Amino acid sequence: MGFFGKFFQGPKVDMEKSNANAKKMRELFNHVVEDGDSYRLIFGYTEDVSRFNYGFVHGSKTKIGNLIVGWKEAEQTIVVVPTVPDLSGCGDPTYYRRNEILKAYRNKYPTDAFVIYPDKKGYIAINAYDWLEDEKLYVYVSQEEELAAFTTFFTKQFATK
């Protein structure tokens, strides 16, 4: 690391906290999704608060819907489970199976979201990053490797042409 690297690094990830949150995400996901261990997981969020903000439904004023996103390559399925930043609970899962969706694509602008249209009436946009600092709004979890795997799965196997 050069001279500038010492000063321009991003904030350090607290791996102990990240691992604890990843474990909680897994426990919540497995609690509501049958055969949950067969899915890989990432944390995502959406601004579709009316449908996917568990916290909003349970009294939180946040305008961000936190999501535990699971995917299974063999079945080309994505499962979205709404949750809250402290991972104290979750809502019911929503399944998106590749053969049942209308359209799915990666929206590069403005948010770089994974967008899924289950039908003509609505869509979900899943935003996901390696990790996010604001723990009041987002789940704190490092997921660089898993996010890369999900991105590859989504763009190569799940997105429609």
Residue 20 pLDDT more than 50? yes
Average pLDDT, the chain: 86
Kindly report, residue by residue over 113-132, the tens digit of the pLDDT: 999 999 888 888 999 988 78
The pLDDT, as a whole number, for residue 53 is 63
Kindly report, residue by residue over 84-100, the tens digit of the pLDDT: 889 999 999 999 999 99
Q: What backbone torsions phi and psi does residue 64 show, to the nearest 5 degrees?
A: -110, 135
The residue assigned the tokens 């490797």 is 145
Domains defined for the chain, CATH in brackets: 13-158 (2.30.29)
37 or 107, which is more confident?
Answer: 37
The pLDDT, as a whole number, for residue 60 is 60
